[in-house]
Amino acid sequence: MKRYEALAEEIAQSIRTGVLKLGDQLPSVRQASASRGVSPSTVFEAYYLLEARGLVRARERSGYYVIAGAKLLPPEPEDASRPTGDSTSVDVSNLVFDVLESARARDVVPFGSAFPSPFLFPLARLARSVASSTQQMDPWSSIDDLTPGNADLRRQIALRYLADGLHVHTDEIIITNGALEALNLCLLAVARPGDSVIIESPTFYAALQALERLDVNAIEVPTHPREGIDLDALARALERHQPKACWLMTNFQNPLGSLMSDEKKQALVELLASHDVPLIEDDVYGELYFGSTRPKPAKAFDTTGIVMHCSSFSKCLAPGYRVGWVAPGKFARQISRLKLTTTLSASSPAQAGLADYLAKGGYDKHLRQLRHALSVQQNAMMQGVVRYFPKGTRATRPSGGYFLWIELPGKVDTLEIHRKALSLGISVAPGPMFSAHRDFKNCLRLNYGHPWDARSEEALATLARLISASMESVKGIAG
């Protein structure tokens, strides 16, 4: 835990225990810096994180104050997962399709959705950029941009990398149809049927589907809900299985929301490089951080070209445009050829529109607004979990993204909870869809990416009643 995170957690604990009450003013940045022996920037980052969590609010020329809603938060999961460590075939697609299809209806409360609300994005502004750039588009661009993608967009992406301290050349970037295509191309470049790939436990279900489709085996490695994959367990898996790749989310992992530290990311890249095992890095949530700076991707520590960094605009700017990219390091030639022989290129108008939008500015302002909205919604959902869910429930506290991972006490079948909740117009993502072994039966992933309102509150209360009833039923059977 970084210094500002430790300071923020200490203050949050004071709020939760009532030492700091509603309306109390926090010490000034200067006072806190002097009394705690930390830099003013550390105090500011801590206060910013508390504000993002909805615990304090800044008043102009006055300071930071504890605000309404600063209540008890659910305890966090403490233990890493414990998968068997075996290499296993994958068969999850039918389950995933059933769950995802149920979350698409507009009249369903989308706690099980994989996407944030479309109303959080500047769609009208984007539409104007698409219209303007399309009118000025060079007819030859439809040919010139095949496979690598729009040159202006790739330059804008390279500038975003540079702003974060990464030197990724424009020519290294390949535009794809969303991050999912980028990830699948990376997998195709390094794995064949019968091979094995290391994944987290739990993991993003689309990674499981990709492995299933290619008949590639999964090796699930223990993963901590706050700190990410267990590097010691990873080292043992590398020695035992000699996998063809490692597919991970290092920033705000889906479904846990875990965030690997810079030190751990560097150690991860060095470990994989020593085994010559490529890293397929899924970083689609990296821009959705609640602190003051974007967390670095593992790509920032890559000196040998083994990291294939994948991201997109779908989660942070332009849902539905399906524009992503990959910076594939030493695998650029293979991935470029795979792209050329499959889908050729992403939509030219969408690429041109995004390039125009990024060049004109406003993206960072939008991101600040989006992050604030997500952090407020996260706090509302966590407090709802405290109010309604059974005692003993644990929930992650991600510092970014838009998912909570819920661990329910006792024996609860979240697949059954999913079916019952859906009959009442509420979707949830049950834990087994995030594991090749169908583990995590007592876990749920909940999406807080939609504005919180009375309907959301009532749906969460209803979901909690279903869970409590299921727990009582299990107790009755056991008795």
pLDDT tens, residue by residue, 101-129: 766 778 899 999 999 999 999 999 999 99
Confidence check: pLDDT of 4 > 90: no
Secondary structure (DSSP) of 369-393: HHHHHHHHHHHHHHHHHHHHSPTT-
Residue 61 — very low, low, confident or very high, per pLDDT cuts 50/70/90?
A: confident
- ∠ CA 325-226-101 to the nearest 5 degrees? 55
3 compared with 370, residue with greater pLDDT: 370
- pLDDT digit string (tens) for 259-316? 999 999 999 999 999 999 999 999 999 999 987 789 999 999 999 999 999 999 999 9
Residue 17 — very low, low, confident or very high, per pLDDT cuts 50/70/90?
A: low
73 three-class SS: coil
The full set of domains in the chain, from first to last, is 3-66 (1.10.10.10), 88-119+370-478 (3.90.1150.10), 123-363 (3.40.640.10)
DSSP-derived pairing of the beta strands 426-427 and 109-110: parallel
**pLDDT value, residue 477:** 64
Confidence check: pLDDT of 207 > 90: yes
Confidence check: pLDDT of 144 > 80: no
Percent of the chain beyond pLDDT 70? 96
Percent of the chain beyond pLDDT 90? 68
Name which of 264, 315, 268 is nearest 289 in CA terms. 315
- pLDDT digit string (tens) for 383-432? 899 999 999 999 998 989 999 999 999 889 999 999 999 999 999 999 99
**pLDDT value, residue 135:** 85
Confidence check: pLDDT of 13 > 80: no
**pLDDT value, residue 414:** 95
Confidence check: pLDDT of 340 > 80: yes
73 compared with 187, residue with greater pLDDT: 187
Query: What is the mean pLDDT of the segment spanning 338-359?
Result: 92
Residue 1 — very low, low, confident or very high, per pLDDT cuts 50/70/90?
A: low
DSSP-derived pairing of the beta strands 245-248 and 174-176: unpaired
Confidence check: pLDDT of 479 > 70: no
C-alpha 303/C-alpha 326 separation (Å) is 17
C-alpha 400/C-alpha 288 separation (Å) is 5
C-alpha 192/C-alpha 412 separation (Å) is 37
Average pLDDT, the chain: 91
- ∠ CA 88-91-93 to the nearest 5 degrees? 145
Residue 85 — very low, low, confident or very high, per pLDDT cuts 50/70/90?
A: confident
**pLDDT value, residue 15:** 79
C-alpha 75/C-alpha 356 separation (Å) is 44
Confidence check: pLDDT of 60 > 80: no
66 compared with 479, residue with greater pLDDT: 66
**pLDDT value, residue 143:** 73
Query: What is the mean pLDDT of the segment spanning 240-254?
Result: 97
Query: What is the mean pLDDT of the segment spanning 169-197?
Result: 96
Confidence check: pLDDT of 69 > 70: no
Confidence check: pLDDT of 478 > 70: no
**pLDDT value, residue 2:** 76
Confidence check: pLDDT of 71 > 60: no
Name which of 478, 472, 381, 470 is nearest 419 in CA terms. 470
Distances in whole angstroms, Cα of residue 275 to Cα of each of 245, 260, 304, 335: 10, 20, 12, 21
Comparing 63-72, 151-160, 230-239, the range with the smallest average pLDDT is 63-72
Query: Where are the alpha helices (H) located in 53-137, listed in sequence order?
Result: 93-102, 123-135
Comparing 111-115, 139-143, 200-204, 227-231, the range with the smallest average pLDDT is 139-143
